């Protein structure tokens, strides 16, 4: 799966370099094909949404999750109900071959020798239930979603921080399916009289322009983004109180931001209680040869000391490639158990008993290091905040099902905690 995400990500860095050309058009264009279409490139484990705008002599491609908008075709040709699209990405050739059948375009997406199925339906723009805002941050403006309760008035505000990887404001990670967990959390909190701000992490989606190089990412930059959101919220002078909610890796980012801010509360959801190197080694146990396990241990030890590693085995390149090492070094500096000790605001720790990524024991470690914190274990909740079975296959199936609601106990617990 990773290789498909990687070769599609090149779109992000080449948008600014493109110039629309004058494509040739065959006779016999079916007018029903013209217009906007949306659908998915069917990656091996999860789909990647794309939007095509088909015109008679031109067109554009958008990939919302990667911050790609209106990238022009090199060529488009029609033959009745058939369409062939070519996109030239400076040597990387993309060909989309589709056929209109009723109200559906089906076909293939080809790039660099890879062929994937594609299915498109007429585009329907989803009406946003939030207010789009721009918050000044290092490198530009952070585009964010401000979710208001329906009734007018002054409300508490929760800043919702997404988890690890290329995760957007809705809780969806590129290559891992669409679950809309954080979108649902914001909407459910609004129904309980709590406003919220959430945002795509820098480098992806709406905030792709804020970071164009992987090596520029760091925990400290994520923390500074939260600090700027807090500063914005205070300047608005319309919220009763300001709270932080961090999910997964967002828990660590949130507790670091909370140490330097006068916030009303901090909520950790599915947050790790141990340093990242311990968790990575645990997750890789039994999946690597003894030699690769030894190399991994040595690499992590070096990175933890702030020393980059030049030579990496081919099998470990995806984990420890040079461009990701600066981020890993910034992450490995922190121990969540020590960081949560420095949070002086009231703390709520929530953990799902069916979380297959972060065990309940991590939540207990956080609780042990902040004795006044409240700890809540949600019996059936998994890592994406939905009720799920314990067995892995059924649990993972929820990661790409946005129709499933959040665990009821989760929203109720956060509502009561914030309103206190």
Instruction: Give residue 11's pLDDT band: very low, low, confident or very high (50, 70, 90).
Output: very low
CA–CA dist 360, 378 (Å, integer): 10
User: Which of 43-52, 90-99, 135-144, 146-155 has the weakest average pLDDT?
Assistant: 43-52
Instruction: Give residue 27's pLDDT band: very low, low, confident or very high (50, 70, 90).
Output: low
Of 307 and 69, the one with more pLDDT: 307
Percentage of the chain lying above the pLDDT 90 cut: 70
Of 20 and 375, the one with more pLDDT: 375
Say what the pLDDT of residue 23 is: 44
Can you tell me the mean pLDDT for 383-407? 93
Q: Is residue 364 packed enough to be buried (19+ CB in 10 Å), middle (13-18) or exposed (0-12)? A: middle
Is pLDDT at 22 greater than 50 in this prediction?
Answer: no
CA–CA dist 54, 37 (Å, integer): 8
Say what the pLDDT of residue 45 is: 58
Is pLDDT at 186 greater than 90 in this prediction?
Answer: yes
Instruction: Give residue 152's pLDDT band: very low, low, confident or very high (50, 70, 90).
Output: confident
Mode of pairing for the β-strands spanning 47-54 and 59-63: antiparallel
Say what the pLDDT of residue 4 is: 38
Is pLDDT at 46 greater than 70 in this prediction?
Answer: no
Which residues neighbour 347 within 8 Å (Cβ) at sequence distance 6 or greater?
Answer: 265, 266, 267, 268, 340, 370, 372, 373, 374
Among residues 59, 84, 62, the alpha carbon closest in space to that of 72 is found at 59
CA–CA dist 186, 146 (Å, integer): 9
Among residues 129, 153, 148, 160, the alpha carbon closest in space to that of 191 is found at 148
Say what the pLDDT of residue 40 is: 83
Q: Which residue has the tokens 């040595």?
A: 298
Contact 311, 320 (CB under 8 A): no
Q: pLDDT per residue over 276-324, tens digit each?
A: 999 999 989 889 999 999 999 999 999 999 999 999 999 999 899 999 9
- Pull the structure tokens for residue 89: 């990405």
Is pLDDT at 215 greater than 90 in this prediction?
Answer: yes
- Pull the structure tokens for residue 63: 């990939």
Instruction: Give residue 333's pLDDT band: very low, low, confident or very high (50, 70, 90).
Output: very high
Contact 408, 184 (CB under 8 A): no
Say what the pLDDT of residue 244 is: 98
Instruction: Give residue 14's pLDDT band: very low, low, confident or very high (50, 70, 90).
Output: very low
Say what the pLDDT of residue 70 is: 84
Instruction: Give residue 28's pLDDT band: very low, low, confident or very high (50, 70, 90).
Output: low
Can you tell me the mean pLDDT for 330-353? 97
Instruction: Give residue 169's pLDDT band: very low, low, confident or very high (50, 70, 90).
Output: very high
CB atoms within 10 A of CB 310: 7
Can you tell me the mean pLDDT for 212-224? 94
Percentage of the chain lying above the pLDDT 70 cut: 91
Highest mean pLDDT among 54-63, 76-85, 221-230: 221-230
Say what the pLDDT of residue 192 is: 96
Can you tell me the mean pLDDT for 234-245? 95
Say what the pLDDT of residue 90 is: 61
Say what the pLDDT of residue 18 is: 39
Query: Cα dihedral angle (190, 187, 144, 263), rounded to 10 degrees?
Result: 50
CA–CA dist 22, 31 (Å, integer): 19
Mode of pairing for the β-strands spanning 92-101 and 104-111: antiparallel
Contact 413, 185 (CB under 8 A): no
3-state secondary structure string, the chain? CHHHHHHHHHHHHHHHHCCCCCCCCCCCECHHHCEEEEEEEECCCCEEEEEEEECCCCEEEEEHHHCEEEEECCEEEEEECEEEEEEEECCEEEEEEEEEECCEEEEEEEECCEEEEEEEEECCCCCCCCEEEEEEECCEEEEEEEECCCCCCCEEEEEEECCCCCECCCCCECCCCCCCHHHHHHHHHHHCCCEEEEECCCCCHHHHHHCCCHHHCCHHHHHHHHHHHHHHHHHHCCEEEEEEEEECHHHHHHHHHHCCCCCCEEEEECCCCCCHHHHHHHHHCCCCCHHHHHHHHHHHHHHHCCCCCCCCCHHHHHHHCHHHHHHHHHHHCCCHHHHHHHCCCCEEEEEECCCCCCCHHHHHHHHHCCCCCEEEEECCECCCCEECCCCHHHHHHHHHCCCCCECHHHHHHHHHHHHC
Q: pLDDT per residue over 81-103, tens digit each?
A: 999 999 986 677 889 999 999 88
CA–CA dist 2, 10 (Å, integer): 13
Is pLDDT at 9 greater than 70 in this prediction?
Answer: no
Is pLDDT at 8 greater than 90 in this prediction?
Answer: no
> What is the chain's mean pLDDT, rounded?
89
Say what the pLDDT of residue 41 is: 84
């Amino acid at each position: 799966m990773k290789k498909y995400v990687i070769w599609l990500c090149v779109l992000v860095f080449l948008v600014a370099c493109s110039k629309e050309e004058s494509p040739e058009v065959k006779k016999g264009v079916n007018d029903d094909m013209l217009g906007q279409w949306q659908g998915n490139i069917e990656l091996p484990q999860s789909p990647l949404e794309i939007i095509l705008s088909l015109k008679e002599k031109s067109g554009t491609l958008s990939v919302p999750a990667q911050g790609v908008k209106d990238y022009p075709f090199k060529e488009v040709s029609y033959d009745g109900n058939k369409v062939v699209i070519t996109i030239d990405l400076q040597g990387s050739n993309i060909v989309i071959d589709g056929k209109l059948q009723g109200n559906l375009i089906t076909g293939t997406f080809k790039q660099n020798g890879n062929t994937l199925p594609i299915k498109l339906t007429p585009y329907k723009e989803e009406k946003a239930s939030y207010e789009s805002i721009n918050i000044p941050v290092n490198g530009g403006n952070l585009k964010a979603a401000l979710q208001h309760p329906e009734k007018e008035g002054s409300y508490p505000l929760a800043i919702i921080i997404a988890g690890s990887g290329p995760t957007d404001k809705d809780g969806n990670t590129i290559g891992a399916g669409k679950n809309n967990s954080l979108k649902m959390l914001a909407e459910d909190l609004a129904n309980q009289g709590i406003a919220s701000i959430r945002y795509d992490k820098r480098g992806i989606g709406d905030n792709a322009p804020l970071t164009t190089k992987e090596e520029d990412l760091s925990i400290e930059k994520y923390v500074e983004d939260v600090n700027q959101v807090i500063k914005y919220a205070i300047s608005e002078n319309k919220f009763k109180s300001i709270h932080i909610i961090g999910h997964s890796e967002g828990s660590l980012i949130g507790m670091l931001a909370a140490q330097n801010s006068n916030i009303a509360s901090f909520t950790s959801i599915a947050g790790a209680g141990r340093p990242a190197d311990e968790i990575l080694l645990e997750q890789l146990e039994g999946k690597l040869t003894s030699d690769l396990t030894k190399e991994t241990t040595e690499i992590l030890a070096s990175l933890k000391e702030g020393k980059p590693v030049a030579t990496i085995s081919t099998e470990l390149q995806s984990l420890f490639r040079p461009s990701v090492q600066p981020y890993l070094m910034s992450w490995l500096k922190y121990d969540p158990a020590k960081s949560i000790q420095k949070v002086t605001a009231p703390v709520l720790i929530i953990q799902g008993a069916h979380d297959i990524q972060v065990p309940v024991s991590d939540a207990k470690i956080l609780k042990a290091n902040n004795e006044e914190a409240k700890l809540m274990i949600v019996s059936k909740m998994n890592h994406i905040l939905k009720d799920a079975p314990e067995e892995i296959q059924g649990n993972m199936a929820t990661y790409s099902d946005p129709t499933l609601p959040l665990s009821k106990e989760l929203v109720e617990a956060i509502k009561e905690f914030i309103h206190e």
